[in-house]
Amino acid sequence: MTTRLHLICLLLLNGSRGVESFTRSGLANSIQGRAGNAATTLFGVRSAVRRVRDSVLSRERTDKDLKDGIAFFYDRSSKLWEDVWGEHMHHGYYIPEDRTDHVQAQIDLIDEVLKWAGVDEGEPPKRVVDVGCGIGGSSRHIVRKYEGSTAQGITLSPYQANRGNELAREQGVSDKASFQVADALNMPFEDNAFDLAWSLESGEHMPDKKKFVNELMRVVAPGGRIIIVTWCHRDLERGEPSLSRKEEKILAKINRAYYLPKWCSVDDYVKLLEKEGAVNIKREDWSYIIAPFWKAVIKSSLNMKSVVGLLKSGFSTIRGAYAMLLMLKGFNSGVIKFGLITCTKKGE
């Protein structure tokens, strides 16, 4: 399965030579037959794409590069993701691990994280900020789950914000959930504005983790809760100065595809929260719970609808699809962890 995706991505990324070497397979003939015009267009601009790509990757990305790249990536890829997987743009909860309803697994992940963090045990949150909201799946689910709750989502992607608001209207929750373009490192909200700060798989995009944690603590009211679910690298062993060169190489390749800055560990997040005065800090590694997810995503990318969608979405999305293999490799090797961290802001 992963070999097949590898070949598809090489075909799309490498142009005519990839076509030549791949035409012997039935899959290549099918792709060429049903997506020929789009493929021809893509291959025709191959040299230009490579020049732009090489220019970008030959220098270190600035924070602005990352923010612009994130917005562009999700503007281009979000429709394809929604067409194939629906409104939730995150991992799923795979207990039992052989479950096949992947959309329900994603919904269950939201519920299980909220339960794990203790949100279900106390007073339901009334004011929620969804930091890195995607197209708003979590926000809309939360306002339906907790009566009287409202949610404000922020994203760097104009497409995602517009689509989130559109779906809120379609689902009848536009009075409870709204979405806007904003920077998580400089949120347009007053201090102490929310009972719950929810960040589901957006922390990995933050170039300044200290500022990110500071902003979460700022906008949450005293006694309010923060939940961070994020991709991290493994915790370093005592006396270990850094990850291995091999591990760093895997992460660097993923960074290029998904517009990520330098990775940190769950332990790094805990230390940052402690310095900000957070209390009741709790952490856990759910890598084993989400393990089947990337195989399922890779499998879903092998149908013709997904391949044609990749062609239409452009180079950055194709490169993101190829990086799925690296994510799977990272989780399997143990360098990537699916980290959960929750805490509360000390009451006044």
Over pLDDT 90: what percentage of the chain? 71
Q: Where in the chain is the domain with CATH 3.40.50.150?
A: 102-291+329-344
Architecture of domain 102-291+329-344: 3-Layer(aba) Sandwich (3.40)
SS3 65: helix
The alpha carbon dihedral of 262, 112, 158, 324 has a sign of positive
Cα 15 to Cα 35: distance, rounded to the nearest angstrom:
14
Cα 218 to Cα 212: distance, rounded to the nearest angstrom:
10
Cα 316 to Cα 49: distance, rounded to the nearest angstrom:
10
Q: What is the pLDDT of residue 23?
A: 34
Cα 169 to Cα 210: distance, rounded to the nearest angstrom:
35
The alpha carbon dihedral of 47, 159, 226, 112 has a sign of negative
Q: What is the pLDDT of residue 335?
A: 98
What's the one-letter identity of residue 324?
M
Cα 2 to Cα 12: distance, rounded to the nearest angstrom:
15
The alpha carbon dihedral of 173, 175, 180, 184 has a sign of negative
pLDDT less than 70: residues of the chain:
1-59, 306, 310-311, 348
The alpha carbon dihedral of 266, 293, 288, 282 has a sign of positive
- Total-model pTM: 0.84
3-state secondary structure string across 263-291: CCEHHHHHHHHHHCCCEEEEEEECHHHHC
Instruction: State the number of CA atoms in the 13 A half-sphere of 21 facing the CB.
Output: 9
The alpha carbon dihedral of 168, 170, 172, 175 has a sign of positive
Q: What is the pLDDT of residue 161?
A: 99
SS3 80: helix
Q: What is the pLDDT of residue 310?
A: 67
305-311 long-range contacts, CB within 8 A, separation 24+: 305/83, 305/84, 306/80, 306/84, 307/8, 307/31, 307/35, 308/34, 308/35, 308/38, 309/79, 309/80, 309/83, 309/84, 310/12, 310/80, 311/12, 311/35, 311/38, 311/39, 311/42
Nearest to 343 by CA among 274, 249, 242, 253: 274
Q: What is the pLDDT of residue 19?
A: 33
Q: What is the pLDDT of residue 8?
A: 45
Q: Two tokens at 20?
A: 């030549």
Q: What is the pLDDT of residue 299?
A: 84
What's the one-letter identity of residue 119?
V
